[in-house]
A = this chain, B = another copy of it.
């Protein structure tokens, strides 16, 4: 029986390897920020939109709202951001970056670009530019296309499923 799967065509494997490598490589770069690369992303959102609520940031970044609470607690302790009650709806809190947070962000960005260059290192210029264009576009699509969860329905129509386990 020939096996169709090999690692060269397994996108999941490739994504995992690349993502892990990215996280590993950026760990030292984002060491100043609680939560590492995730804290960095929160800081980015807070800096680019001072009216962003916890919930909005969490949704955009795929972070659970309960995790967001802990993360922001740490980031506030580190003086990177501040929570401010929205006067219009006192349930929601805006996350705003402090001056110090902005300086850390700028510094981190600079070093992050170096790491990204290193990660994408041996790709040709064409390939690199293609990736830098396609990856964010795809991510945006997936982020808006919310219910990725239920692919089982799509998939269960194709056949009888695997053979019963020999017990």
Decide: A163 and B16 in contact? CB cutoff 8 A. no
Residues of B within 8 A of A166 (CB): 79, 100
- Copy tally for this chain in the complex stands at 2
Interface of A (DSSP majority class): helix
Pick the contact of A78 from B41, B127, B165 — CB < 8 Å?
B165
Decide: B135 and A14 in contact? CB cutoff 8 A. yes
In the assembled complex, how far is the CB of residue A106 from the closest CB belonging to chain B, in whole angstroms? 7
In the assembled complex, how far is the CB of residue A16 from the closest CB belonging to chain B, in whole angstroms? 7
Decide: B44 and A10 in contact? CB cutoff 8 A. yes
Cα–Cα distance between A107 and B165 once the two chains are bound (Å): 13
Decide: A41 and B28 in contact? CB cutoff 8 A. no
Known: A32-B162, A130-B130, A131-B134. A15 touches B15 (CB 8 A): yes
Judge if A86 is at the interface, Cβ distance under 8 Å: no
Decide: B100 and A163 in contact? CB cutoff 8 A. yes
Within 8 A of B (CB), among A31-47: 32, 37, 40-41, 44-45, 47
